[in-house]
Amino acid sequence: MGFPGTWMTESQSVVYRVVPKCACSTIGQIMFYSDHGRFFEGDIHDSREGLHKWAQDESKPLIEANVQRHGSYAFTCVRNPYTRILSSFFDKICGIQRNGRRYRGNLVPRLTYEYGIDVGGDDGAQEFDQIKSFRRFLLFARDTVRFRRPMDPDIHWSATSGHVSTFITNGGRYDKVIWTEAFNDGMQEVLDAIETPYAVDLATIPRFNESEGHGPKRAHPVEEYFDDLSMHLVYELYKRDFEVFKYDPENPANKMPTGEIDLDEVHAKLGE
C-alpha cells in the first residue's frame, strides 16, 4: 500500500502526512517555501514539481526509503471533528469548486434527491436552512462511512485517524502531531526540529485556505448545528479522533483540545 497522502520536501528535510481539511494547503506551501524561498503559484495540491508526493511515481521510491528508515522528521496535523465535518459540508457540498463546477459531478444533485439536502441553488448564493441541510448531510456521511453507500466515504469526511494510521501501519513513525487549532505553536516546533535551505518566519506566512470562498458563509455558531442526534452521529464516526487527538466530544462549542497528544498512544492505537 505504501504511503498514500505523504509529502516530502525535495531536500528531505521533513515528511508530512496530509489530512484533508487540516491546514494542508498552508503546510504544503511552507514546505515548498522552505526548499525554494518562494511559494508555489496556485493551489499546492496541483504542484507536480518542487515537492515530493506519493501520487507522483518518481517520488514514491524516495518517500518509501526515507519513511522506512525514519530518515527525516515526520509529522501530521489534525483538527476537531466537529469543525472539520462542518467545513467539509460548506466547502465540498455547498460550494462551487475552483474548476467552476460542483464537487464530484452529480454528488450534490444526488444528495438533494436522496437526502433532501438544500445547498442554496445552482450557484450556492440563495438563502437556505443551513442547520437542517447539514444534519441531513451528516446522515449521508454516516451512511458512506458505516455502510459504504450510496458511495465510499470521501477523504474530506473520512476519519482523521484513518488518514493518520496508514502512515503507521505501513512502517512510518511520527515525531509530532500538531493541532490546526494551535497551528503556529505546533508548526514552530516542527520548524525548530529541522534544518531547511530557507528559513521560515511563521509570523509572515499567509494562510493558504484554498477552500475559502467556495461556499456560503457559516451563519451560526458551530454548536448550533449539532443537536443530540448529530453529536451522537459525529461521535460514532470519529470516536478514535476524539480519543487519540484529545478533543471534547461533549461540547461542540469547544474546538480546542483538552489534553496533550500521547505519541505512544497514537502509534499503539492507530497501528493496530
**Does 250 map to a domain?**
no
Helix axes 228-245, 130-142, angle to 10 degrees: 60
Give domain status of residue 168, yes or no. yes
Would 264 be classed as within a structural domain?
Answer: no
Q: Is 171 found in the same domain as 91?
A: no
Please check whether residues 92 and 169 belong to one and the same domain: no
Q: Does residue 11 fall inside a structural domain?
A: yes
In this structure, the answer to whether residues 181 and 76 fall within a common structural domain is yes
Per-residue pLDDT at 214:
61
Q: Are residues 139 and 233 in the same domain?
A: yes
254 domain-assigned: no
Q: What is the pLDDT of residue 124?
A: 61
Same domain membership, residue 42 and residue 147? no
pLDDT at 193: 98
The phi, psi pair for 2, rounded to 5°, reads: 75, -145
Domain that holds residue 48: 6-80+156-204
Tally of structural domains, the chain: 2
* Residue segments in the chain with a per-residue pLDDT below the cut of 50: none
pLDDT on residue 256? 98
| One domain for residues 13 and 52 | yes
Question: How many C-beta atoms surround the C-beta of residue 206 within 10 A?
Answer: 8
SS3 of residue 112 by DSSP: helix
Identify the CA nearest to 96 among candidates 212, 215, 211: 215
Q: Are residues 46 and 92 in the same domain?
A: no
pLDDT score, position 23: 95
How many CB atoms neighbour CB 122 within 10 A? 11
Rounded CA-CA distance 79/225 in Å is: 17
φ and ψ at residue 247, rounded to 5 degrees: -105, 160
Whether residues 138 and 232 fall in one domain: yes
Q: Does 183 lie in the same domain as 227?
A: no
Is residue 175 located within the same domain as residue 140?
Answer: no
Q: Tell whether 131 and 227 lie within a shared domain.
A: yes
Beta sheet of 14-17, edge-to-edge order: 51-53, 6-9, 14-17, 73-78, 176-179
The single residue listed with the C-alpha cell 518562494 is 38
